[in-house]
Amino acid sequence: MMFEFRCIRRSVFSRLVPVCAVCALVLLSVMFFWGQAARAIEVDIGRVPPVEVYFSPNNGATEAIVREINQARAEIRVQAYSFTSAPIAEALLNAHNRGIKVEVILDKSQKTQKYSSSTFLMNAHIPTYIDARHAIAHNKIIIIDQSVVITGSFNFTKAAEDKNAENLLIIRSKELAKPYLDNWRRHRDHSAV
């Protein structure tokens, strides 16, 4: 009986060792590849955070906007109350010249304001609309590739960067970009060229 028990124990043990070895290899492989994937995700998130926050004066909001415009691949939609920033206007022109679809909606005050980017954009043949339906079209929004939303109190002006206390958010979210884009389209539909 003792002999039979030892044989059974050896038989079970001899079958269990290879199974455990295979399981251990599979587990180690999964842990290795999961670790690699997690590190890749961390690097990616570290490189491109889902939300960036800027405060002015002099915190780099204009530079961040220009960077995002320069990374656009298909389209840029802008809504602006006050728009006199030469770097942002130039970045939009460069994007337009790269074949990016650029469209801008401005408040009616931009038609008559001295140093407005309205004339610059129109002369560059960038579709520019004037939203005169509201007392003030006070939006400050840029939607890039239907996946990045730039918004906040930050007007697209030199004063907003250099003098004013403003805030700017860059949000990478297709889900959030959708209602902003829908709203942009509603305003474009009642705006004049």
Residue range 138-157, pLDDT digits in tens: 999 999 999 999 999 999 99
Cβ-based neighbours of 180, under 8 Å, separated by 6 or more: 141, 143, 149, 151
Residue 1: the pLDDT is 54
Is 107 an active-site residue? no
Confidence bin at 42 (pLDDT 50/70/90): very low
Residue 115: the pLDDT is 60
**With 60 as the cut, is the pLDDT of residue 30 above it?**
no
Query: Residues 161-178: what's their mean pLDDT?
Result: 96
Cβ-based neighbours of 26, under 8 Å, separated by 6 or more: none
Active-site hit among 96, 107, 131, 140:
140
Give whole-number Cα distances, 180 to 129, 148, 177, 185, in Å.
Answer: 17, 10, 5, 9
Is 162 an active-site residue? no
Residue 92: the pLDDT is 97
Superfamily per CATH, domain 50-189: Endonuclease Chain A (3.30.870.10)
Q: Can you give the length of the chain in residues?
A: 193
Residue 108: the pLDDT is 86
As a whole number of angstroms, the longest Cα–Cα distance in the chain is 105
Q: CB-based burial of residue 104 (10 Å sphere; 0-12 exposed, 13-18 middle, 19+ buried)?
A: buried
Q: pTM here?
A: 0.73
Domain ranges of the chain: 1-47, 50-189
Active-site hit among 108, 111, 138, 178:
138
Residue 4: the pLDDT is 56
Q: Supply 131's token pair.
A: 């939203």
Run of H or E including 3: helix 2-47
Is 138 an active-site residue? yes
Residue 37: the pLDDT is 47
| DSSP 3-state of 105 | strand
Whether residue 83 contacts residue 107, with contact meaning beta carbons closer than 8 Å, is answered with no
Residue range 83-126, pLDDT digits in tens: 889 999 999 999 999 999 999 999 887 776 666 677 888 889 99
